[in-house]
Amino acid sequence: MQRTQFGDLVCSIARTLDLIGEPWSPLILRDVMVGIRRFDQIQADLGISRKVLTERLKWLVERGVLARREYSARPPRHEYVLTDQGVDLCDVLIAMARFGDRWLAGPAGPPVLYRHRPCGHVAPADLYCAHCDQPIRADAIDVLPGPGMTAEAETRT
């Protein structure tokens, strides 16, 4: 398919998509997040082709999102766990779940509930401005060029 690479776009969203932009990675990450950590478990849960799963896992480990950890030496068995970067990346998944719960769930309600362990409550995770502590809406955000935008890219967005 010769997919265009986004990594060189001067945009943090594009760079994140370069990491988990193809459709299976977020679901693999979700599985690891909820405790499905072994190759065959993930494969069975998602119905993903084994070939693609192999490639995705290797990619996510290379990029530092997941780590391959041995949980049994004999027989040699491995599982995949989230790195610190991977945990942070799950914020994106939580935002997706929030959106899906709100807009795409049927009348029966959300299929999965996420409970915040420290407070023990099932509650949505909302985006808040780290400065004023108010909820953030995308249409109340202005976009400015940042320090990482190089001169040649400044002619673009």
Partner DNA sequence: TCGATCAGTTCCCTGAGGGAACTGACTTTA
Partner DNA sequence: TAAAGTCAGTTCCCTCAGGGAACTGATCGA
Residues near its own copies (CB under 8 A), total: 92
Do 43 and 55 contact (CB within 8 A), yes or no?
no
* Helix (H/G/I), strand (E/B), else coil: 34: coil
Task: Note whether 54 binds its own copies by CB under 8 A.
Answer: no
Task: Note whether 60 binds its own copies by CB under 8 A.
Answer: no
Do 93 and 33 contact (CB within 8 A), yes or no?
yes
Do 16 and 22 contact (CB within 8 A), yes or no?
no
**Least Å distance between CB 70 and its own copies?**
20
One character per residue 48-77, x = contact with DNA (rule: CB under 7 A): xxxxx-xx-x----------x-----xxxx
Task: Note whether 22 binds DNA by CB under 7 A.
Answer: yes
Do 112 and 96 contact (CB within 8 A), yes or no?
no
Task: Note whether 67 binds its own copies by CB under 8 A.
Answer: no
**Least Å distance between CB 51 and its own copies?**
13
